């Protein structure tokens, strides 16, 4: 299963792609989409074009996006929500369901605690993906989101198999 993780942001949208085969997970690619300066519509279009190109290049089987919480001001929260919509739209256009995870759930899955800082996330991503060259904190977060989604997909697959065995 190829997983695309996206850390939404209007200026910097982190992305990471991993392959998960059972308990084996490997890094494929990661990076950051940057929006242009200027009107909001143009910035969103730039993010959409970049993420669409990444999607076409790596052809993920599934995707995951981090939930957005309220920022210090309402206008910033709204803009972040619009960038998040781009992160949800691109995989949806390809017919994929998109997993959505709260930041604390991602941190708890990858680090083991729900209030981990960026350095702890980066460290644990590097431990789980040996040799990875991470393009920046937003890309590290995106890889953590992908790892979280792979973990939850694997766990739900085990649960479905157990339920199927119990129903026989």
Active site residues: 7, 66, 138
CB contact at 8 A, 28 and 55: no
> What are the residues whose beta carbons fall under 8 Å from the beta carbon of 35, sequence distance 6 or more?
10, 11, 13, 43, 44, 46, 47, 83
- DSSP per residue over 48-91, as a string? HHHHHHHHHHH--SEEEEE-----SSHHHHHHHHHHHHHHHHHH
């Amino acid at each position: 299963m190829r997983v695309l993780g996206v850390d939404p942001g209007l200026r910097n949208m982190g992305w990471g792609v991993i392959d998960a085969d059972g308990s084996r997970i490997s890094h494929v690619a990661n990076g950051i989409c940057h929006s242009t300066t200027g009107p909001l519509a143009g910035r969103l279009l730039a993010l959409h074009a970049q993420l669409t190109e990444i999607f076409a290049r790596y052809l993920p089987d599934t995707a995951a996006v981090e939930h957005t919480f309220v920022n210090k001001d309402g206008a910033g929260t709204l803009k972040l929500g619009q960038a998040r919509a781009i992160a949800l739209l691109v995989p949806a256009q390809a017919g994929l369901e998109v997993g959505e995870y709260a930041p604390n759930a991602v941190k708890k899955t990858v680090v083991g605690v729900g209030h981990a800082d960026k350095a702890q996330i980066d460290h644990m991503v590097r431990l789980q993906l040996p040799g990875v060259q991470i393009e920046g904190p937003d890309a590290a977060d995106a890889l953590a989101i992908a790892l979280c989604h792979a973990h939850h997909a694997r766990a739900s697959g085990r649960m479905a198999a157990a339920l199927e065995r119990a129903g026989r």
